Amino acid sequence: MEILGSIDKEACSTWLEINLDNLRYNIRKLETLTQKPVMLVVKANSYGLGLVDISKAAEQAGVAWLGVARIEEALALRVAGVKCNILVLGYTPAKRTYDAILADIALTVYDREVGEAYCTEAKAAHGKIRIQVKTDTGMGRLGFFPSEVADFLRWAKAQRQLKVEALITHFACADDPQKPSTKAQIEEFNQLLKELEAEGLKPGLIHASNSSGTLNFPEARYDLTRCGISAFGIQPSPTTPIPDEFKPVIEWKTHLISVKTLPSGHGVSYGFSYYTKKQERIGVIAIGYADGFRRREGNYALVCGKKVPVVGNVCMDQCMVNLDTVPEAKIGDEVVLIGKQNGAAIKVEDLAQDWGTISYEVICGLADRIPRLFIDSSTTNGKASK
Ligand SMILES: Cc1ncc(COP(=O)(O)O)c(C=O)c1O
């Protein structure tokens, strides 16, 4: 990753402003609210915000753990010098056991075959692998059925090559507190914990809740919370708001790169899905569908503190906006796709709703080619990557 050294928006066609101060603030708020340590979930390039920079800021904020989806992400963090506990939440091929041992990374075991394969590989490597056992209390994804857990733990605890450090589960519908299924999952998990405790099999660390579980079901915070989206200042769903004091972490901006007056009846962009209705001031902004902006009707952007409509089809690297309500707009002006400008705002949640998807998909879809500029008062200038 190339470090540019200081934020220089003028040098970028489009950029993400990632506020690491706000990230650290949100993490501390989560810890205060829950009175539990946080595992910050940084999978998928920290939901598109930047794996290493987000993780290092979280480490500075004192998070207990980082959660990733894949071993490659965990190894990249170690190479970058991240020291804190790391758990791979998803599948890790057994052939990666040695790497995980060397890098001191914990792996999720969700099935006997996977656990046995890690054990065999660890034996061959003369090492011991840290594992967290996952039970499926209702999600219908990865995990032992609760009825299988005791047997597996009995076996695993007898293996010198395995260090069982946690029992974990995951909720399917915690973002909708009206649905009864989360309560049922919690009950199932608690019953299992009781039985394991009675048999002396309960691991020392228990965790279950993502952001929604953490916010909606305080009884399911157990020993730590596994939060991603809320720490990034975004509500997990329309039915799960985050506390008002949480701060946004991400803004997406670009520039006006052309301003022209087109005569009435002039086509705009590929396919002419839009024709000017009268003489119109049409601006071009330097983002397109290749940046993660959806090719659909009804998009908008902030120019001179006002919401202006995107007109015509979104192109790969550009799209057009109607500037009739902002006659003062000129080439070089900053344009906001996510964030605030004067009194106006566009939130990730707004885009998710307009695009018929979830906030997670909006930010994970922000293209790699967009430079991430980090606002970080713990360094002098902030910094930019890529
Ligand atoms: C197993 C697991 N735990 C926790 C999280 C964090 O979820 P959220 O970003 O909703 O806090 C995820 C993310 O998808 C996950 O897969």
Ligand 1 close to Cβ of residue 229 (< 6 A): yes
CA separation for the pair 30, 38 (Å, rounded):
7
- Give the closest residue (by CA) to ligand 1 atom 5: 210
Which distant-in-sequence residues (6+ apart) come within 8 Å of 377 by Cβ?
Answer: 21
And the tokens for 155? 């076996």
Task: Return the ligand 1 atom nearest residue 89 CA.
Answer: 1
Instruction: Using DSSP, state whether 8 is helix, strand or coil.
Output: coil
Q: Any alpha helices (H) in 80-111, and if so which ranges?
A: 97-102
pLDDT above 50 (res 3): no
pLDDT above 80 (res 122): yes
pLDDT above 70 (res 1): no
Instruction: Using DSSP, state whether 58 is helix, strand or coil.
Output: helix
Give pLDDT, residue 156.
Answer: 98
Give pLDDT, residue 386.
Answer: 53
- Establish whether 110 is a catalytic residue: no
The pLDDT-based confidence of 378 (bands split at 50, 70, 90) is confident
Give pLDDT, residue 383.
Answer: 64
Residue with the larger pLDDT of the pair 385 and 295: 295
Calculate the alpha carbon distances from 373 to 40, 251, 322, 359 in Å. Answer: 20, 10, 28, 20
Q: What is the mean pLDDT of residues 155-183?
A: 97
DSSP class per residue in 211-235: HHHHHH-GGG-TTBEEESTTTTT--
Give pLDDT, residue 7.
Answer: 60
Which distant-in-sequence residues (6+ apart) come within 8 Å of 338 by Cβ?
Answer: 250, 251, 252, 346, 347, 348, 351
Nearest alpha-carbon partner for 336 in 277, 326, 239: 326
Q: Mean pLDDT of all residues in the chain?
A: 96
- Find the 276 Cα to ligand 1 centroid distance in Å: 45
Cβ 170 vs Cβ 134: under 8 Å: yes
- Find the 151 Cα to ligand 1 centroid distance in Å: 27
Among 139-153, 240-254, 304-318, 370-384, the minimum mean pLDDT is found in 370-384
Give pLDDT, residue 173.
Answer: 98
What phi-psi label fits residue 239: left (phi over 0), alpha (psi between -120 and 50 degrees) or beta? Answer: alpha
Give pLDDT, residue 10.
Answer: 85
- Give the closest residue (by CA) to ligand 1 atom 7: 210
pLDDT above 90 (res 382): no
Calculate the alpha carbon distances from 160 to 22, 129, 176, 229 in Å. Answer: 43, 9, 42, 37
Give me the torsion for CA of 216, 360, 53, 341, rounded to 10°. -100
Residues in the chain: 386
The pLDDT-based confidence of 4 (bands split at 50, 70, 90) is very low
Task: Return the ligand 1 atom nearest residue 360 CA.
Answer: 9
DSSP class per residue in 278-321: SSEEEEEES--GGGT---STT-EEEETTEEEEEES---SS-EEE
Which distant-in-sequence residues (6+ apart) come within 8 Å of 332 by Cβ?
Answer: 255, 256
Among 159-163, 325-329, 363-367, 377-381, the minimum mean pLDDT is found in 377-381
Query: 38, 39, 41: which to mutate for ligand 1, most atoms within 8 A of CB?
Result: 41
The pLDDT tens digits of the residues spanning 221-233 come to: 999 999 999 999 9
Task: Return the ligand 1 atom nearest residue 69 CA.
Answer: 16
The pLDDT-based confidence of 384 (bands split at 50, 70, 90) is low
Q: What is the mean pLDDT of residues 246-251?
A: 98
The pLDDT tens digits of the residues spanning 65-114 come to: 999 999 999 999 999 999 999 999 999 999 999 999 999 999 999 999 99
Q: What is the mean pLDDT of residues 261-285?
A: 98
- Find the 261 Cα to ligand 1 centroid distance in Å: 47
pLDDT above 90 (res 189): yes
Give pLDDT, residue 9.
Answer: 85
- Establish whether 95 is a catalytic residue: no
- Give the closest residue (by CA) to ligand 1 atom 15: 210
